Amino acid sequence: MRHCGVYATFLRITESSRLWTFHELDGKPLFLAPSSKPRFRISWDGNGYQGEVSSEAAGIIATMFALSHLSFRFEDDRFSDGYLRLYEYAADHPEAGEIFQAID
């Protein structure tokens, strides 16, 4: 269910990608990232963000949006826990500034 939400969110913020990479941290799922090209233009009407980020950052952004949405829709701590784990990972990412601008 979660990967479908990430893909649907990704389609709302950028163009489609057919190839995806699943990232884990310490044996736990972390995020999905498109792997069809190295960079993606991101546009989010919800906050006016527009920018170009790496495929990894694009996947982090899409996964954070999807986890946030799912955590409010379903009362399941796995979604909010996953969001917090990814938020901490994103804070140390080289593109943290762009990631947080996009999700703000």
| Nearest alpha-carbon partner for 62 in 20, 28, 27 | 20
Domains of the chain in start order, with CATH, are 3-102 (3.30.70.3580)
Residue 10 φ/ψ, nearest 5 degrees? -60, -40
| Dist. CA 94–CA 76, nearest whole Å | 30
Task: For the chain, 104 residues long, give each residue's pLDDT as a single digit of tens.
Answer: 445 555 566 655 556 656 788 899 999 989 988 888 899 998 888 889 999 999 999 999 989 988 988 888 888 898 899 999 999 999 999 999 999 999 98
